[in-house]
Structure 1
């Protein structure tokens, strides 16, 4: 069994089709009565024994889509991405019932917040496999008798994941949108009547989230999103060297313009967990003790960036000449 600190041994209980190219993976803990608790919006790392080019295990993060009240199982919805980084194809093609892997403790950078007022409305917009973190939010919204609606969009009806779960939802609160039947989703029209009491939760492909962020800039409603892929770097941005002081280890390291903080830390023999290396999963988050981070991730909120107490070392850099990290 591989894994490390914070990793939980788990066994594959079930593998079930959940849509075209989508697998529902159900895990059970090994040697423990249950998994760690989690809340809607959380994801967890799967530590797979496939190995990458550097000989390290594949670590990939996937949203939890089961019932947070049932810790005897973890459910994941995994889309097979032939052009991805190898994790989803490994799960689809090689992971079998009875196999053991390791699971990371859940992390939540997409929390489902309490309603601000009795009249508050919640609009969920899911693009394809982006329905996975939203499914537990839907269960909570119904349990709390919230005013909610769901728009689940995909290129075609066959590509709508978790159709059985969607079919069980109240029909008057659900809209299924298939591009091949109705054209591209009209987000501006969909959101035109929403006011300050509405919070939009969305997860899905980058074009959907980019469009929502653009609409949200001048809108009264609030937007909360989770990305599966990194946003493109702004044009004209250049990297500059700086130094990292590692308080716990006593090391002082130079980060050149062509390397990330993560690379430099690992080359110095410091263990830092990482997965996406694109600033979208939060696995490599470290605490900042001094200095100002140049945040380039898609995880931290605007408030968290302004606080400057944490950073994703796979992509973020320093505004000044020195950063001090808790490592």
Structure 2
């Protein structure tokens, strides 16, 4: 499909153009400053028009009218001269419901498109977006999420005027998904979902938690929903010089132990090394469970039931990816039986608590 886009170089436009190209479509940017004839020529052969262009932080109120209403009138005039009526989706704003210069200009732009729909029968969808956030949004401009992500990730101060201020947020990937859905099958309604709600104080606290996770190693539930979107957005504002961070290696004559990641409700991840002939472990747990994966070298896992004295042994190596689980009530250890340093990944189902470690020393082979 050939999709003509105003505002293609803006925040939403950049994300949309990338996704359209990934899907094999042909996005055509309609640059600011074109006259009617040039716009009409640029839209020649287009299947759909996505109208993203607008002004939201001008120096004068008149610029709201020129940038939002004037651009829409110019676009509609160009559309009227095409051989067929093209479907148009317009990203308006929830501010259109309010009596302020920006909101009034957005509502007037909506009316221009509604008249075009009434006159031509063209499919026109108007989507009133809340605050949109995501990668490539300009910080210190009109998005508090972008500003907070940028500043917090760089150790710069932020201003939280009223922590209780309510925010309604939409993630740019969800906006793009809705716009692509319109392009594929134009309809009168383009609903962006989900729309998230949180306070300004909650936003700042969550982004600061992302920042602090590098030292605490604690990462929240960033795999779904709002936290997934916010986490991806926060990371996208990292300066390249800050893409990596160091971990603490606890080293002794046996090898080293490094914690990698701690979660609030799904345990923690780490890895350890052991020199040839070294045995690590020699303890049991009442409730804690673990999963081990040898990613370099050869290992012998030894187990002993602490009541029955039953023994069990497992040999594994990096040549055969295999997870070995520790079982409550069984003492266990792991020995490097290879000729090189052994490296083992480890997941434990709970965070280590020094006051309640649930780790009781007990020999395995020499009990």
Rg comparison, structure with higher value: 2
Between Structure 1 and Structure 2, which shows a larger proportion of helix residues? 2
TM over 0.5: no
- Interval containing the TM-score (normalised by the shorter chain): under 0.3
